[in-house]
C-alpha cells in the first residue's frame, strides 16, 4: 500500500455531502479485469476507477450466492444476522433490517437502483419455457425497502421468466420471445449463445442506458445514492456478437485444472465434475457432469464472458463520465461484484458451494470524492492495498464518506481497514455452507442433502487450491483455530 492514510471528520451539510455511485456486476471473476492482470479483454474504464482511487487486492464477498451477497452489501450484515441466507428458500430481506436505502433516504438522499436487485428468492419452480410470468409483487417489495426510483432488470434469466421492467420493454420491442427461446435451450445451447437481438437491447445495455438517462436528468441539488447493478457477466453467456472482436483469446490464460483433483468422492465438487452435480454449470452439462464439456465449449463460454465484460466496461465509462459532468468531483464511486465465477478452473463453472479464490476474492475499486484538500486527495489516488476487506464493509464506508451516523452491523470503513490491515478473518456463508480464511489458510464446511464435506487449503504452498489438506496432521492446530473462528463468528447470534 502506498500513502499514509488518515481519517478526516466527514460531517458535512446536506448540500456538501457526496453523491454515491455504487456499480456492481454479477459473477465477475476478478482476474478478468485488466487492472487485475486479465489479458483477454481490456477494461480501461473500470480500471480507471482504481487508477484514480484505490484498488483492493484482498476483498471478499460474504457469500458465493447472489441473494445473500447482495443483501450483505445492502445491510452490512452477514447472512446469518440478516436472515437472508439462501437463493432457494423463502428468506427475503426484511424491511425491518436497516439498509443503505433507508439510511441514505432518511438523511436527505434520493435513492435509486437500476438493474438487478435479487433481495428475495425467485420462485424457480414456477418458471415455464413457453411464457413470461407477472412480477409486479416483486417490484413492489423492492420499492418497500426504501427506494425512490427503480428500473428493474432482475437477472438475465429472471427477465425471460418474469415480466420485470426490462422484460416488458423487450417484449414491446419484439425480442423477448427469441431471448426466452435461447435461454431455455439448455441442452442445445448449454447457456452459451450470442444475444438474439440488437446490442442495445441486451440486458446490460438496457441497464447502462437507463442509468445514463437517470443521471443525466437528475437534479444535482439533492444528494444521490444510486446503485447501478449489471446482471452480466453472469450466465447465460450471451454477449452481443458485435463485442466478440474485443476479445483476444490467444491471450487467455489456460484453465487451471489438475488431473484427478476432484476424483475423490469426499471432495465438495466431486459430483460437479462427475455428475450429477449441483453447481450451476452441471445443470447444462451432458449427464450433469462438467467433465463432459469439450474444449470448444470452454472456449466459447469464456469468449462470451469476456465480450460481455467489454460491453459492461463501455457503459461503466459512460456512466462515470455522466456522473462527473453532473456532480463534478463530489462523487464517491465504488465498483465491485457480488461474487466471482469458476470459468472452467478446476473443470467447473458457476459458483455454488465454491470457496475458491475465483469466486470468493472479488474485484473492488473505490474512488473518493475530490472535494478534500490536495494532500488528502493524493493519498487516495492510485493506491493499491492488500488490506483484507469484505463487501459487508460497503455500508459503513458509504455512511462514513457522507458523514452520516453509523448503523449497527458487521462492517467497518475501508479506510480503517487500510490503516490496520483489515479483518483478521473473512467469512462466506450460505445455505448449508460456511468458509473462513485468514488470507493464507482457508477452511470450508458444507452440509446439505444428507451429505457433509470439509476442505482446507494452504494458499502459501498451493495458490491454485488443488490439494485438500484437511486430514493432514501437521495442519491440525491451524484447522482447530479456523474452526474456533467459525464458532466465534456464529456465537453472538446464537446467544442473542
Kindly state whether residue 265 falls inside one of the protein's structural domains.
Answer: no
Residues 457 and 309 in one domain: no
Kindly state whether residue 264 falls inside one of the protein's structural domains.
Answer: no
**Which of 371, 395, 423 lies at the terminal end of a domain, its last residue?**
423
Residues 315 and 451 in one domain: no
Averaged pLDDT, 375-387: 82
Kindly state whether residue 489 falls inside one of the protein's structural domains.
Answer: yes
Residues 437 and 405 in one domain: no
| CATH number of residue 458's parent domain | 3.30.1120.10
The SS3 of residue 421 is: coil
Averaged pLDDT, 391-419: 97
- Side-chain half-sphere CA neighbours of 47 within 13 A: 15
Averaged pLDDT, 103-131: 97
Task: Identify the pLDDT of residue 59.
Answer: 98
| CATH number of residue 70's parent domain | 3.40.720.10
- Each residue of 315-363: pLDDT tens digit? 999 999 999 999 999 999 999 999 999 999 999 999 999 999 999 999 9
Task: Identify the pLDDT of residue 496.
Answer: 67
**Which of 403, 423, 443 lies at the terminal end of a domain, its last residue?**
423
Predicted confidence (pLDDT) at residue 133 exceeds the cutoff of 60: yes
Residues 6+ apart with CB under 8 A from 456: 441, 442, 443, 444, 468, 469, 470, 475, 479, 482
Predicted confidence (pLDDT) at residue 484 exceeds the cutoff of 70: yes
Residues 458 and 409 in one domain: no
Task: Identify the pLDDT of residue 376.
Answer: 58
Residues 163 and 239 in one domain: yes
Task: Identify the pLDDT of residue 1.
Answer: 43
**E strands in 213-321:** 224-233
Residues 25 and 97 in one domain: yes
Tell me which residue range forms the domain holding 353: 17-256+293-423
Residues 152 and 115 in one domain: yes
| pTM as predicted | 0.96
Residues 415 and 440 in one domain: no
- Each residue of 419-449: pLDDT tens digit? 999 999 999 999 999 999 999 999 999 999 8
Reported as a pLDDT band with limits 50, 70 and 90, residue 9 is: very low
Kindly state whether residue 184 falls inside one of the protein's structural domains.
Answer: yes
Cell of 458: 494452504
Residues 6+ apart with CB under 8 A from 474: none
Averaged pLDDT, 232-246: 98
Task: Identify the pLDDT of residue 12.
Answer: 53
DSSP H/E element including 400: helix 394-402
Reported as a pLDDT band with limits 50, 70 and 90, residue 494 is: confident
Reported as a pLDDT band with limits 50, 70 and 90, residue 373 is: low
Reported as a pLDDT band with limits 50, 70 and 90, residue 15 is: low
Domains of the chain: total:
2
Kindly state whether residue 138 falls inside one of the protein's structural domains.
Answer: yes
Predicted confidence (pLDDT) at residue 8 exceeds the cutoff of 70: no
Cα 213 to its chain centre, rounded Å, is 24
CA–CA separation, 227 and 101 (whole Å): 10
Residues 389 and 488 in one domain: no
- Each residue of 197-209: pLDDT tens digit? 999 999 999 999 9
Give the burial string for 340-350 (b: 16+ CB within 10 Å, else e). bbbbbbbbbbb
Kindly state whether residue 5 falls inside one of the protein's structural domains.
Answer: no
Averaged pLDDT, 91-115: 97
Residues 336 and 479 in one domain: no
Percent of the chain with pLDDT over 70: 95
Kindly state whether residue 339 falls inside one of the protein's structural domains.
Answer: yes
CA–CA separation, 268 and 287 (whole Å): 18
Residues 485 and 339 in one domain: no
Residues 126 and 195 in one domain: yes
Averaged pLDDT of the chain: 95
| Residues in the chain, overall count | 496
Amino acid at each position: 500500500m502506498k500513502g499514509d492514510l488518515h481519517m478526516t471528520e466527514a460531517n458535512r451539510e446536506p448540500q456538501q455531502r457526496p453523491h454515491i455511485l455504487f456499480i456492481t456486476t454479477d459473477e465477475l471473476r476478478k482476474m478478468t479485469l485488466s487492472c487485475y492482470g486479465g489479458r483477454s479483454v481490456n477494461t480501461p474504464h473500470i480500471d480507471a476507477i482504481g487508477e484514480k482511487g484505490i484498488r483492493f487486492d484482498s476483498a471478499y464477498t460474504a457469500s458465493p450466492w447472489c441473494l445473500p451477497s447482495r443483501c450483505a452489501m445492502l445491510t452490512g450484515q452477514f447472512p446469518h444476522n440478516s436472515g437472508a441466507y439462501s437463493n432457494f428458500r423463502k428468506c427475503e430481506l426484511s424491511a425491518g433490517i436497516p439498509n443503505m436505502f433507508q439510511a441514505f433516504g432518511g438523511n436527505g438522499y434520493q435513492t435509486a437502483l437500476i438493474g438487478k436487485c435479487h433481495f428475495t428468492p425467485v420462485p424457480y419452480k414456477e418458471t415455464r419455457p413457453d411464457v413470461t410470468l407477472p412480477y409486479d409483487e416483486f417490484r413492489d417489495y423492492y420499492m418497500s425497502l426504501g427506494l425512490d426510483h427503480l428500473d428493474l432488470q432482475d437477472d438475465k434469466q429472471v427477465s425471460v421468466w418474469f415480466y420485470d421492467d426490462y422484460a416488458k420493454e423487450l417484449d414491446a420491442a419484439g425480442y423477448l420471445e427469441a431471448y426466452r427461446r435461447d435461454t431455455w435451450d439448455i441442452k442445445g445451447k448449454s447457456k452459451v449463445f450470442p444475444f438474439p437481438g440488437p446490442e442495445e437491447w441486451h440486458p446490460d445495455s438496457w441497464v447502462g442506458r437507463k442509468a445514463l438517462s437517470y443521471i443525466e436528468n437528475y437534479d444535482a441539488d439533492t444528494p444521490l445514492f444510486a446503485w447501478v447493478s449489471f446482471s452480466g457477466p453472469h450466465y447465460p453467456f450471451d454477449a452481443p456478437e458485435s463485442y466478440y472482436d474485443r476479445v483476444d483469446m490467444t491471450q487467455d490464460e489456460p484453465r487451471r485444472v489438475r488431473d484427478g483433483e476432484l476424483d475423490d468422492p469426499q471432495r465438495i465438487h466431486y459430483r460437479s465434475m462427475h455428475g450429477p452435480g449441483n453447481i450451476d454449470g452441471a445443470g447444462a452439462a451432458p449427464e450433469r457432469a462438467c467433465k463432459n464439456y469439450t474444449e470448444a465449449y470452454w472456449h466459447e463460454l469464456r469468449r462470451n464472458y469476456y465480450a460481455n465484460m467489454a460491453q459492461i466496461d463501455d457503459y461503466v465509462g459512460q456512466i462515470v463520465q455522466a456522473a462527473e459532468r453532473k456532480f463534478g468531483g463530489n462523487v464517491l464511486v465504488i465498483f465491485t461484484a457480488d461474487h466471482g465465477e469458476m470459468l472452467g478452473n478446476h473443470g467447473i463453472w458457476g459458483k455454488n458451494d465454491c470457496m475458491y479464490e475465483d469466486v470468493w476474492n472479488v474485484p473492488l475499486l473505490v474512488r473518493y470524492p475530490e472535494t478534500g484538500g490536495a494532500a488528502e486527495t493524493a493519498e487516495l489516488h492510485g493506491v493499491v492495498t492488500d488490506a483484507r476487506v469484505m463487501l459487508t464493509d460497503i455500508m459503513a464506508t458509504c455512511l462514513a464518506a457522507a458523514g452520516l451516523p453509523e448503523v449497527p452491523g458487521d462492517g467497518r470503513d475501508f479506510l480503517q481497514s487500510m490503516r490496520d490491515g483489515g479483518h483478521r478473518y473473512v467469512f462466506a456463508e450460505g445455505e448449508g455452507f460456511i468458509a473462513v480464511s485468514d488470507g493464507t489458510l482457508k477452511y470450508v464446511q458444507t452440509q446439505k442433502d444428507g451429505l457433509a464435506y470439509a476442505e482446507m487449503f494452504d494458499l502459501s504452498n498451493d495458490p491454485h487450491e488443488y490439494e485438500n489438506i484437511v486430514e493432514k496432521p501437521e495442519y491440525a492446530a491451524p484447522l482447530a483455530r479456523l474452526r474456533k473462528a467459525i464458532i466465534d463468528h456464529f456465537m453472538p447470534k446464537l446467544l442473542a
